[in-house]
Chain A
Amino acid sequence: MTTKTMHHSRLFLPSLAAVVLLSGCMNRVESMKETLAFAWSGNQDVTVTQERLDEINYPMMYARFNQQRRIALGLGFDDNDQYKWLSGDQEVVVTRHGRVIQTQGVSGNLNELAWVSNLSNDPLKCLTQLNSQCSLTWQAQVQSGVAQEASIQAITSQFSRIGSETLELPINRSINTVHWREQITQDNGTTWTNDYWLSTETGRVVKSSQQLTDALPRVVTEELKPYKKDLQKPSNSNRGAN
């Protein structure tokens, strides 16, 4: 049988009209991407200065995947509490209540985090609201990869409170936190721990070291410039996470 073209779709051909149509709402993101790409490219750890941070009007964080160089990410979108953090290299890290729930285009030949189930019962959702009556156990399925390495693993998670700590964040910021440790057990029996530091005042995660399955890289996040929405105290706060 000869090879033949059945149909060539126009869906994926960019059109000038669409570029113009989308350009208005994308200006902010494009500007952010350019800043991130040009200011902090290269092979070294990214370090953002106080002066530079003052010029930037969007939330930022540092992230490091495994032992790779530290990158700076800007908050591009807040999709109903899913925070979409963008790098200058089209990398996307999605967080929800401080947990990394998806990655896209992460460099370094690392497995992508494609999907996490049961997020509505994630203890971090409750703990970041500074509730005192949080369930500290959680079970989830995690999909890593979307191509030949695509796999699903089941995990169980158990949170425990380590204690109060004053944390030194980048740009000489000192912040009072509660340190929570999460023990993850994967269905193959492997176990490890994740750490989260939550602001005692607002409950937001300001630093974390987390890994959801053994097929995924460890991600270390550090807040650089907080998101204003997260600086408000939770309405149902009863200081339980202090």
Chain B
Amino acid sequence: MRVFVGLLLVVLMSVSQTAAAQVKVNVYLHQSAEQPGDVTWQKSYELSQPERISQVYERILSDLNADDLAQINWSASRLSSDFLQARLERHRERMVEQLDQLARHWSRQDEQQVADSIKRLAAQVSRWPLQATYSFNLTPDQTRLILQQNPLLTRADGRVFNWHLYSFPHKALTFGLPEDLAGVDNDFLWRVLPNGTVAKQPVAYYNKRLPAACYQHDERSPIQSVNADQAQRCAIKGNLIHSVRLLSEYWLTDETEQLDLELMLLAKFILPNGGQS
């Protein structure tokens, strides 16, 4: 009897451990550049123990036909989780709140046109179609070859992971404020590169020959704030890059001096071909 109870305990413990470790991975394939939100193939995998993303890829190999597989643009793929998405939404709420406060500040200073521009930006930010992303450009071959580039999917980072695969490239879109509004920065344009790097690019007549300041995406801390000291010089040459026009530094207060960088932490997660807000 004692042996039976012991065995039962072992079984129960192993079952509870399995349940605790279980995560779900949803893989979505998007094949229409015109309807980027449409899912043309979907598969869910229940993982009874933590797995690396390369192991999920091996499952996809068995389930997806060769032509569809060959057409995936891995540089546009995005890996997310429910936990990360929730953190991103909290960051968005904070940003909208800050923008509202900034608008009230300039309204009190009788700068109503600037306040209106800021309100308009806040409304747009609240509508941006965002997909929190650990990894941009997650290519299966690199995950299989380099362990550090092969994320482990565990309950610590999410109960549900979503891997969005696209059969088309990013389309270059422009977000933010129109250039003719009060308070808008027309000397610099913020850019989002397909690999998640954010860049502040000089675009005015007097500074457009200067290099841009690039901020690399950190897949270990995707929504971590950055500051200007972390910028690296870079040259923007491509045509597949989102543009975001934000406020001139002149209108940022001491409390909001890093607002543009904080907003770009959101903008880099705008969905490929996410459409104008």
Contacts and interface: CB of A to CB of B under 8 A. Distances in A.
Interface of A: 1, 3-15, 17-19, 21-22, 26, 29, 33, 76-77, 79-82, 84, 86, 90, 92, 94, 96, 101-102, 104-105, 114-115, 117, 119-120, 141, 143, 145-152
B157 interface: yes
A15 B51 CA distance: 11
Contacts of B153: 11
Given A9-B157, A120-B71, A148 B222 contact: no
A6 B87 contact: yes
B194 interface: yes
B224 A5 contact: yes
A86 B144 CA distance: 11
Contacts of B174: none
A22 B148 CA distance: 13
B194 A94 contact: no
Nearest to B234: A148
A6 B221 CA distance: 8
Nearest to A119: B70
Given A15-B152, A92-B141, A115-B73, A1 B259 contact: yes
Contacts of A151: 237-240
Given A6-B225, A10-B152, A148 B147 contact: no
A22 B52 contact: yes
Choose among A6, A15, A147 the residue with the greatest number of B CB atoms under 10 Å from its CB: A147
Contacts of A143: 73, 75, 169, 240
A215 to B, nearest CB: 9
A9 B148 contact: no
B152 A146 contact: no
23 contacts: A1-B255, A3-B225, A3-B258, A5-B225, A7-B87, A9-B134, A10-B157, A15-B50, A18-B147, A22-B150, A76-B145, A80-B65, A80-B69, A81-B70, A105-B142, A115-B73, A119-B67, A143-B169, A150-B193, A150-B194, A150-B241, A151-B237, A151-B240
B74 to A, nearest CB: 8
Interface residues of B, number: 73
Interface string B67-93: 101110111100000001001000100
B3 interface: no
A148 B238 contact: yes
A21 B84 CA distance: 26
A153 to B, nearest CB: 9
Given A12-B148, A114-B75, A80 B157 contact: no
Contacts of A101: 70
A11 B151 contact: yes
A3 B91 contact: no
B223 to A, nearest CB: 5
B70 A96 contact: yes
A84 B224 CA distance: 34
B69 A117 contact: no
